[in-house]
Amino acid sequence: MKLAVLVHQARLGAEEFRVVRPARPPAGAALVDRDRYLDLYVDEDAARSVAGLWLLAARSPRSLVHVPMRANRPPAEEVPDDAAPRLLGLVLLHHSLQFAPARWKQLRGRLGPGRPQTVRLPEAEHDGATAIDHVTRHHRENRDLFHQHLHAETLFMTGSAKVFRDTAGRFLEVAREGPRSTDPHVCTRLHSDDGTLGNARELHIEYRVG
């Protein structure tokens, strides 16, 4: 899998941060805050793009992977007539980075146009397994579970390389099954019962026609 991205470098005080964004933000993706849970709507292209960004987060523990999608609208039938949906952006990051979400708005405002880059992301990665174990053993309370924070209309999904890598296939499944299914509701979930969520709400991933 090849993924075109923009790489940004920005400084806050004495610290410099690396932010990676897709070169073409997924127009067919919309993230909605439903209070008790979260809905992520994706068409086929968006599902594949988010899967690639999920894998990128797994192999880039020193980067924040930003998926701009706040301007995207969910399917019209999913929006009540008397309510405006609360739309969110998305940031994926490795827990060892220990980035404070409260700093995101300031960091986001300092990002320039970015440097174009193409990354290759095999669907099954075996390189770096030893390094992953070395990092996560110092953060055992977070290992292999997603934790969430919400700040500046952005959902932060924080986890280990393993949990990002293990769950990227959920998006590829939706991308594969959605277009061929006669069922209008093709979806999958990240929830506490499947052992992927720590301090986090359920994430409902639903296919929509692009």
User: DSSP for 29-90?
Assistant: EEEEE-SSEEEEEE-HHHHHHHHHHHHHHHH-TTEEEEE--TTPPPPGGGS-TT---EEEEE
DSSP 128: T
In a domain, 11, yes or no: no
Range of the domain at 149: 26-99+141-207
- Give the tens place of pLDDT for each residue, 162-207: 999 999 999 999 999 999 988 888 999 999 888 899 999 999 999 9
User: DSSP for 3-26?
Assistant: EEEEEEEEEETTEEEEEEEESS--
Give which of 123, 143, 124, 137 is closest to 195, Cα–Cα.
Answer: 143
In a domain, 104, yes or no: no
In a domain, 182, yes or no: yes
In a domain, 43, yes or no: yes
In a domain, 6, yes or no: no
In this predicted structure, which of 10-19, 152-161, 181-190 has the lowest mean pLDDT? Answer: 181-190
3-state secondary structure 138-177: CCCCCCCCEEEEEECCEEEEEECHHHHHHHHHHHHHHHHH
In a domain, 117, yes or no: no
pLDDT score of 32 more than 80: yes
pLDDT value of position 141: 54
Give which of 107, 88, 96 is closest to 201, Cα–Cα.
Answer: 88
pLDDT value of position 133: 41
Q: Are 89 and 153 in contact (CB under 8 A)?
A: yes
CATH assignment at residue 41: 3.30.1360.220
Which 3 state secondary structure label does DSSP give 185? coil
In a domain, 37, yes or no: yes
Domain count along the chain:
1
The percent of residues above 70 in pLDDT, for the chain, comes to 87
Question: How many whole angstroms separate alpha carbon 111 and alpha carbon 114?
Answer: 7
pTM: 0.88
- Across the chain, which distance is largest between two alpha carbons, in Å? 54
In a domain, 120, yes or no: no
